[in-house]
Copies of this chain bind each other. A is one copy, B any other.
């Protein structure tokens, strides 16, 4: 086959896969938003069938021959084509090792698991979730073994979300975090607490929805291509760069929960919506890895969203939407949203204690996959770690081990990305400030220069470079967690007068 002809076939193949991803992603999204509760089994049927079609397409003889042919002619391809062929070729090598029955059964299990988790969380019934969680761990062990037979299981899981990430690297990263941040958290705990009572009260749903619209406008999210929905647990999904969805969960008693969900998911959505057009409808059309994705969402949520400049920018709108804030000044808002105190729910944790929530999950995942902790003992181990690390009692599993959707969704090895992403973001801020007047942009209320830097250095590339490569290019230096540590030390020392 001629290379040009093969490239056309490759384009068609990717478009077809994109169509399956769109359909399956939308069925998932619908399951979390609009679908009636009894439709889960039917959704599972469809996902299993489409998953099988997609799998057959990805690993079929024709595809293998096509990719073998192109892989043998890499030197005739341009940079984008080369990367696409390399990724798909590697994926085929991984996928071909997974028996199709196993793959299809996993799609069904995944659907069941998410559905059972929803019910278990709603009814605070961990026992309901236990058997399916057990199956999910076993299935993920087997899948990791098939896909990366050369790697220890947990390394294989980490590698799925961050190519090249290992338990060793995570350990050394978390070591710095633990060494530097635990004393800071201790000092903050002993300092006079800031007052955040202004965040609580009654904040009508309709007004909070208007706030979401406003926040998305400030972030320059293009609403023609980015939708917002309500779900139990906020998330972002993109069908292509042209159709991205974020979701949030409104709590009428505190507007800041949804506010920071919208900013966080909005950060993901900006990344998903901005790969270069020539990457759309290719396998490089999304973000490159979970930690780079989290670097964007947590950059927006914390480094921007919890900064003094940003609060000054949006405070007038907050006072307009919520009259009870009319007498509250910008500084009081800034302090309130930066109150740091150990808490139960990861997604509602403050910027400083957040990393400990991740440490706990990282620790538990390792034990689960090493076989040192049983699913039955998981809630006890969870509660003990919350007591040990954060000094708090977990009153119920729904506020404890059942709080996150990740494990029900098979996202084992994903959690470290949140902490890594936060740390990447802090170093990005340092580099960004060398050419961008970040404070000035916030003062003017025009975030274009900030988005411009992120688009130029991160977003436009989609999956073109591996995460390490992309990060090195963007930072111009090796990753160093001390930027993150110093950012937090400076911020919280000032807030808590340390």
Q: Does A226 belong to the interface (CB within 8 Å)? A: yes
| Per-position binary interface string of chain A over residues 426-465, scored 1 when its CB falls under 8 Å from any chain B CB and 0 otherwise | 0000000000000000000000000000000000000000
Q: Does A232 belong to the interface (CB within 8 Å)? A: no
Assess whether A46 is in contact with B22, with CB atoms less than 8 Å apart. Answer: yes
With a cutoff of 8 Å between Cβ atoms, the chain B residues found around residue A225 in the complex are: 36, 38-39
Assess whether A42 is in contact with B239, with CB atoms less than 8 Å apart. Answer: yes
With a cutoff of 8 Å between Cβ atoms, the chain B residues found around residue A24 in the complex are: 23
Partner of A36, one of B38, B42, B46, B226: B226
Assess whether A18 is in contact with B36, with CB atoms less than 8 Å apart. Answer: no
Assess whether B34 is in contact with A222, with CB atoms less than 8 Å apart. Answer: no
Q: Does A245 belong to the interface (CB within 8 Å)? A: yes
| Per-position binary interface string of chain A over residues 17-43, scored 1 when its CB falls under 8 Å from any chain B CB and 0 otherwise | 011001110110010011111110111
| Count, chain A residues at interface, CB 8 A | 39
Assess whether A16 is in contact with B49, with CB atoms less than 8 Å apart. Answer: yes
Partner of A50, one of B23, B34, B240: B23
Residue of B with least CB distance to A37 = B224
With a cutoff of 8 Å between Cβ atoms, the chain B residues found around residue A36 in the complex are: 223-227, 243-245
Q: Does A15 belong to the interface (CB within 8 Å)? A: yes
| A contact face: mostly helix, strand, loop, or mixed | helix
The answer for the CA separation of A222 and B24 in the assembled complex, in Å, is 25
Partner of A23, one of B42, B46, B222, B242: B46
Partner of A34, one of B41, B49, B245: B245
Q: Would you list which residues of chain A between 207 and 260 have a CB under 8 Å from chain B?
A: 222-227, 229, 239-240, 242-245
Q: Does A281 belong to the interface (CB within 8 Å)? A: yes
Partner of A53, one of B18, B30, B46, B53: B53
Q: Can you name 17 A-B residue pairings with CB atoms under 8 Å? A: A23-B24, A23-B26, A23-B27, A26-B26, A30-B30, A33-B34, A34-B227, A35-B243, A36-B223, A36-B225, A36-B244, A38-B222, A38-B243, A39-B224, A39-B227, A42-B243, A53-B53
